[in-house]
Chain A
Amino acid sequence: MGKPNDGKPAITPMKQKKDVQQGTLALMVLKTLDVLGPLHGYGIARRIEQISGDLLSVNQGTLYPVLLRLEQEGAVESEWGPSENNRRARFYRLTRAGRNLLEAERSDWEQTAAIIARFFEVKAEDLA
């Protein structure tokens, strides 16, 4: 399937400069659910916004395809529940598989970060 509005300077969410990579966003979602327990989409978006500054402020909508994907992968489950204003909202909850996934991704990240950090710290005399 071709990208929508191909060839036009469109306002596609995928092309924003500060767009969050899907994998990163997924990781944020998992961590948020891990810390705060079951949340609806808006709740997740708010938390991520709070923690990450304005990173997700423009395109909150992109959250939903990511949630769907995580659900298909079995990392989260969802069900309808009453929202704060007594309407229906879809609540997402981390599954056991999701927790494992989060753990695996986290150690990956830390490892990568540690390696990169060491590279940044390196000085010429260290390699002599």
Chain B
Amino acid sequence: MRALKRLLARMGNFAARRRGDARLREEMEEHLAMQTEENLRAGMSSAEARRQARLKFGAVEAVREQYHAEEGLPFLESLLQDLRFSLRQLRRSPGFTLVVVLTMTLGIGATTAVFTLVYSTLLRSLPYPQADRIVAIHDTRISGQSTGGLMSVPRYFDLLARNRSFASMGFFFFDQSTMVAGNRLPVAVQAAGTNAAFWDVLGARPILGRTFNAHDDQTKMPQTVVLSYRGWQKLFGRDPGVLHEHITLDGVAATIIGVMPPGVDAPSGIDMWHAAQFSASGWNYRGEGVRFINVFARLRPGVTAAMAQSDLNRIGAQLQGQYAQTDGMWRFTSESLRNDRYGALRPALLALQLAAALLLLIACINVASLLLSRGTARQREIAVRRALGASARRIARQFLTESLVLATISGIAGLAAAWALVRGAAAKLPGRLSVPGTIEMHWPVAALAAAVSMLAGIAFGVAPAVESRRVALNTAMKRGETRLGGSGHGLRSALVAAQAGLSLVLLVGAALLGESLWNLVKQPLGFVPEHVLTFSVKLPWDAENAAITSFYDAVQRRLEALPGVLAVGQISALPTKDWHLRSNFDADWLPRIPNQPAINAEDRSIAGNFLSAMLVPLLQGRSFTDADTRLRQPPVLVNQALAQRFLPGGNPIGRHLLAGGESHEIVGVIANIRGTAGSLSNPVGPEVYWPADSPGASAQGRYFVVRTRSMPATLVNSIREQVHAVDPLQAIGDVATMDELLDKSVAQPRLNMAVVAAFAGIALLLACVGIYGVVAFSAAQRTQEIGVRMALGATRGQIAGLFVRRAMMPAIAGLAVGTGLALAASHLLRSQLYGVRADDPRIYALSVAALLIPVLVAAMGPALRAARTNPMDALRID
């Protein structure tokens, strides 16, 4: 209470700039007068009386200072003084200030921008209540490739019935649908079928209307639809009257009953959800064809993720025993919702964050060495201030204040730059990062930026502050004396070494990622992506087989007739699409073991002239003919990977794949097509290609691939008209060129590479600037020494060599250490690398060379200039 009262009084004095000087002076005078009188009465002479009074009183100045210190807030006062002085200093050298602020803005901006990504994905809580209680449950093959975690419907119902861990379990499956609303033309929409429990798992509430409940989700109930915010915006212009509107979805009448808020985006990019209306009794078939749902669950209160997993293991083992033939190879795995969404991004994001931190560190080092040079140039100023009574600590504090002022300005600029960057670029980020509302700057990010700026200010301010304490008064005051020697050389060399080493780490990272991207892009795709337009068409689930075949046939023929079209083909899922359908086979040339099918392969169905439209090389045998589509047990094509793995060196043509009691003749072998089940970096596994049209089993949803001579802009419209002409209730969706799809699939690695490369470039530039500065500075400081050396017979070459050597020695030492650091750091990149080893010596050699050459050039400039010094001028200086 007393302390508070006192603080308030002091703050009041400080704010009002009130000083009790006059009062104190009067009190002290009065005090002395009274003491003097007392002394006079005691019989002293008047001079002696005054002298004794003063002695007794003590040092007047000290009392005054102490009094003043008690009066206001001296720390704040001198801080304000320092701030004013710093700003004046910075204004006086705008070039220096600009360089420092720019450098630090880059460092802080980069760190903040990347941290925004990290925070938004890996740290911020997902937009669902108690999102950490939501787990994703995957169906995983015990060995070999899984189907991206997709679960078969019967296994979901088994889990639902047997688990003891989950309060609710929901699922969704992708359903590219054709929607007709009112009198409008049909449009292709991204729909997902989900069950009613899905909404309990998410715990999300609609902003309009309601979500479907268990009643709506029963088989044969009227179909209901919930719009996502995105779908509401895109398809209905955010019309609040959309509730209870009737639409048809893939030919089924449905009612819109609700609209979800913007954050609810599961799965990402979805337009609407419809009730799946599955029942356990409707799914007796347990094979691969029904493995298409993504399952999520909310943990029961008190159940941990580990307990849930052991529960899943228990059920998995039961099912393995119970259904050995279909479920024997499968188990359940689970992970948090956050991991399911962003887990794959984590290594890339952490690598980026590390790169940004390195860049910031390099920027700090650069600025530290700049400040150091400036501190040396200010030695005389320091000496004068020391001589006038300022303490060493006081001056060091002044230096630190200057760096903190610089750091604050840069921090604000960096934060603003990062904010602008995030706002401008968030929508262009690859994959699910581009979903609106995913990447946003929040307060914790700004707080981190502020903390980082202050830390950086202290980090780069400490070196010059420490140096300032070393100034020796007597030498600094004398002109010229400090020019021999060259103070702080060791510290400066260490900074150059650190800069070179850290830049190397970034450069190696960029080179590794660049090489990976190059490997990814230049590898043979198995098809020619140029001039290929793709789009999707989806017929209703319940379409008649004959109707499907005749529809696609008609579209195929009409497209082939379009001018400029070279070939048209169809496939169930395009390369680069994260789409999975796998089957088990036995082979007539392999031993047959019950419940252990010999081959597990990805299935695709093709029609039209798929091979010639994509220019997929046919390596052996023939392609499908019209006759093949009429066979009950149609023949198949296999890819090279299947042939090489299961029949090495043999000829598969005429042999048979066996599945479900049927026998399918292999009539051809085609080249490996990359990205069949997602990422281009996945190795190509065994694949089987079926005729899309066959009696009793034609695929309703297909992608068309249209190879054109050139890509006329009007082609998409012509195609739309042709499809409409065949069936006015159908729409085309997912229109993209094959090039665009490939581009999208390497967007993430390309972004990584581009960011790290940009950081490395900036680091290299900073390293060059730093080394240039050090050499130029030491040359300027040692002009006289150069003169003496030349007078004693040193050649210009020797002088230049001297300076280059002095600069390059620490740089080379730094590179040696940096190589070790880069080797250690490259481990973090391992998951991002493709076709290159993290310790590839070529990469390291190239990076060292790429650093050494510009650094050498930067050192040469001022060294050569120093060597051109006229010895007479150099000696006459001062």
Contact = CB atoms under 8 A, between A and B. Distances in A.
B798 interface: no
Residue with the highest number of chain A CB atoms closer than 10 Å, among B2, B60, B390: B2
A68 B57 contact: no
A32 B487 CA distance: 59
A60 to B, nearest CB: 5
Contacts of A83: 30, 34
A13 B58 contact: yes
Interface string A1-14: 11111110001111
Contact of A13 (B63, B71, B391): B63
Interface in B58-72: 58-63, 65-67, 69-71
Contact of A88 (B30, B58, B65, B69): B30
Contacts of B59: 11-13, 61
B125 interface: no
A98 to B, nearest CB: 10
Interface string B25-37: 0111011011101
Contacts of A85: 33-34, 37
B78 interface: yes
Contacts of A12: 59, 62
A52 B394 CA distance: 38
Contact of B63 (A65, A74, A101): A65
B70 A68 contact: yes
A89 interface: yes
A58 interface: yes
Interface stretch (B3-11, B419-427, B674-682, B827-835): B3-11
Contacts of A93: none
B62 A4 contact: yes
B75 interface: yes
Contacts of B522: none
A69 B2 CA distance: 10
B33 A87 contact: yes
B65 A4 contact: yes
B58 A87 contact: no
B393 interface: yes
Nearest to B53: A60
A41 B34 CA distance: 10
A36 B141 CA distance: 95
A13 B59 CA distance: 7
A30 interface: no
Nearest to B63: A61
Given A1-B75, A88-B30, A59 B58 contact: yes
B27 A64 contact: yes
B736 interface: no
A61 B9 contact: no
Given A87-B30, A90-B23, A60 B66 contact: no
B384 interface: no
Contact of B56 (A1, A7, A57, A90): A57
A2 B391 contact: yes
Contacts of B30: 40-42, 83, 87-90
Interface residues of B, number: 41
B24 A64 contact: yes
Contacts of A103: none
A45 interface: yes
Interface string A65-87: 10011001111000000011101
Given A2-B391, A59-B58, A85-B37, A68 B67 contact: yes
A44 B9 CA distance: 24
B802 interface: no
B74 interface: yes
Given A1-B69, A73-B6, A42 B34 contact: yes
Contacts of A84: 34
Interface string B421-465: 000000000000000000000000000000000000000000000
A72 B11 CA distance: 11
A60 B5 contact: no
A72 B27 CA distance: 17
By size class, the interface of chain A is: 35 or more
A83 B26 CA distance: 13
Nearest to A66: B70
Contacts of B34: 42, 83-85, 89
B75 A90 contact: no
B63 A64 contact: yes
A9 B59 CA distance: 14
B55 interface: yes
A72 B63 contact: no
Residue with the highest number of chain A CB atoms closer than 10 Å, among B34, B37, B63, B78: B34
Contacts of A74: 2, 5
B27 A90 contact: yes
Residue with the highest number of chain A CB atoms closer than 10 Å, among B27, B71, B391: B27
Contacts of B28: 61, 64
Contacts of A87: 30, 33
A40 B32 CA distance: 12
Interface string B373-403: 0000000000000000111111000000000
Contacts of A57: 56
A40 B57 CA distance: 15
B127 interface: no
A4 B66 CA distance: 10
Contacts of B6: 69, 72-73
A3 B66 CA distance: 10
Nearest to A85: B37
A38 to B, nearest CB: 15
A20 B653 CA distance: 108
Given A64-B28, A68-B67, A69-B6, A13 B62 contact: yes
Interface string B694-725: 00000000000000000000000000000000
Given A72-B5, A83-B34, A64 B391 contact: no
A48 to B, nearest CB: 13
Contacts of A61: 28, 31, 57-60, 62-63
B66 to A, nearest CB: 5
B63 A69 contact: no
Contacts of B26: 88, 90
A90 B34 CA distance: 13
Contacts of B24: 64
A60 B63 CA distance: 10
Contact of A72 (B57, B70, B74, B389): B70
A97 B30 CA distance: 28
Residue with the highest number of chain B CB atoms closer than 10 Å, among A11, A40, A64, A69: A64
A41 B75 CA distance: 28
Nearest to B8: A72
Interface in B10-30: 10, 20, 23-24, 26-28, 30
Contacts of A6: 391-393
Contact of A65 (B37, B67, B391, B392): B67
Contacts of A69: 6, 70
A60 B391 contact: no
Contacts of B70: 65, 68-69, 72
B28 to A, nearest CB: 7
Given A4-B65, A11-B59, 17 more contacts: A2-B391, A2-B394, A14-B66, A41-B27, A60-B31, A60-B56, A61-B31, A61-B58, A61-B59, A62-B66, A64-B67, A65-B66, A73-B6, A75-B2, A84-B34, A85-B37, A89-B34
30 contacts: A1-B74, A1-B75, A2-B390, A2-B393, A2-B394, A11-B59, A12-B59, A13-B59, A13-B66, A14-B66, A40-B27, A40-B30, A41-B27, A42-B34, A58-B55, A58-B56, A61-B58, A61-B60, A62-B66, A64-B67, A65-B66, A65-B67, A68-B20, A68-B67, A68-B71, A69-B70, A74-B5, A75-B2, A83-B34, A88-B30
Interface of A: 1-7, 11-14, 40-42, 45, 57-62, 64-65, 68-69, 72-75, 83-85, 87-90, 101
The 9 residue pairs across chains A and B that have the minimum distance between CB atoms? A2-B391, A61-B63, A59-B58, A61-B58, A72-B9, A6-B391, A42-B34, A72-B6, A1-B74
